[in-house]
Amino acid sequence: MADAIPVHAAERLKGLRSSAHSTGVFTSDFSVNEFLLVRKAGFEPIGLCVGTCVYHVGIQYGSWSKNQELDVLSKAMYHARELAMARMRAEAAAMGADGIVGVKLTIKRLEWDEHLLEFIAIGTGVVHGDGHKGFRAHDGGPFTSDLSGQDFWALLHSGYRPVEMVMGSCVYHVAHRGVLSGLGAAGRNVEMENFTAAMYEAREIAVERMQFEAAAAKAEGVVGVDIHEGSHGWQTHVIEFFAIGTAVLPLDQEIAPEKIADPIMVLSVND
């Protein structure tokens, strides 16, 4: 019977939950504001979770004059990130975390070998203060999110909870333009349609993949999406298109729009 537990024991039990790490010490990379807002949202940090993966990326050349996805590279970028994320998540699960907030994904090229890339995923594992299990991801494991503590608070207050960090990647070779096709263009501003088409296709593939991941996580939507391009030391015409965001689901009782507090206009005193 729950009410038979003495007050002190219950407090101790709660205390155990909030410092669930076996060392009794929590670690996090939260700033002060982030820490306060995560706690305000009803969560306690228990420990930093890290996942690393050093990956040898294979070789693939695109045809000089062809727009095409370099699937070997796409798969490498995907697989390596997935490994780093999964390891971080396993560490969180071992700590008993309900989720990981403030995940930062970084990538570095190792100096001595241009084909070696290092992927790092790091974030703070958190548990719900009252032991509410409803915040876990669809598979019962910890949720993952790249949202900061502040954004985490705001998300819960808009009636949503994070489920999973989702991403889509497409490494693409943009065709080199033939010399002859350039001559006809002298004088006028003309669209280079094959370049435009390359951008469209590559971006579409990346977004489609991210959306597919979100659907697989049974999410309603994806917030904080960033779509950008990057080159990781490949040939000049090889570009990675990358889409990343946090898949979200409505809370058990989704907040009706009229219940969301009215905004207050403020003048920030910060710099």
By CB under 8 A, the residues from 80 to 109 that bind another protein are 81, 102-109
List Cα–Cα distances, 67 to 2, 223, 242, in angstroms.
Answer: 65, 30, 17
Residues pairing with 120 in the sheet: 52, 106
Of the candidate residues 72, 131, 132, 178, the single one contacting another protein (CB under 8 A): 72
Task: Choose between 7 and 264: whose C-beta lies nearer to another protein.
Answer: 264
Cα separation, 33 vs 30, in Å, equals: 8
Tokens of 172: 């693409």
Task: Say how many Å lie between the first and final Cα of the chain, rounded.
Answer: 54
Of the candidate residues 144, 155, 164, 209, the single one contacting another protein (CB under 8 A): 155
Decide: is 180 part of the binding site for another protein (CB under 8 A): no
Decide: is 253 part of the binding site for another protein (CB under 8 A): no
User: Total residues at the site for another protein (CB under 8 A)?
Assistant: 99
Torsion, CA 103, CA 81, CA 88, CA 162, rounded to 10:
50
Cα separation, 155 vs 145, in Å, equals: 11
The nearest distance, CB 142 to another protein, in angstroms, is: 18
Decide: is 36 part of the binding site for another protein (CB under 8 A): yes
Strands 143-144 and 99-109: parallel
Decide: is 164 part of the binding site for another protein (CB under 8 A): no
Task: Choose between 22 and 31: whose C-beta lies nearer to another protein.
Answer: 31
Span from 4-12, 14-22, 86-94, 261-269 in contact with another protein (CB under 8 A)? 261-269
Decide: is 124 part of the binding site for another protein (CB under 8 A): no
Coil, helix or strand for 76?
A: helix
Task: Choose between 14 and 237: whose C-beta lies nearer to another protein.
Answer: 237
DSSP state of 61: -
- Give just the sign of the alpha carbon dihedral 201, 202, 203, 205: positive
Of the candidate residues 152, 164, 171, 209, the single one contacting another protein (CB under 8 A): 152
Using CB under 8 A as the criterion, what x/- string covers residues 184-223 for binding another protein?
A: -xxxxxxxxxxxxxxxxx-xx--xx-xx--xx---xxxxx
Decide: is 160 part of the binding site for another protein (CB under 8 A): yes
Of the candidate residues 61, 65, 110, 132, the single one contacting another protein (CB under 8 A): 61
Torsion, CA 156, CA 157, CA 160, CA 161, rounded to 10:
0
Residues 1-30 that bind another protein (CB under 8 A): none
The single-letter code of the amino acid at 263 is P
Task: Choose between 87 and 237: whose C-beta lies nearer to another protein.
Answer: 237
> How many residues in the chain?
271
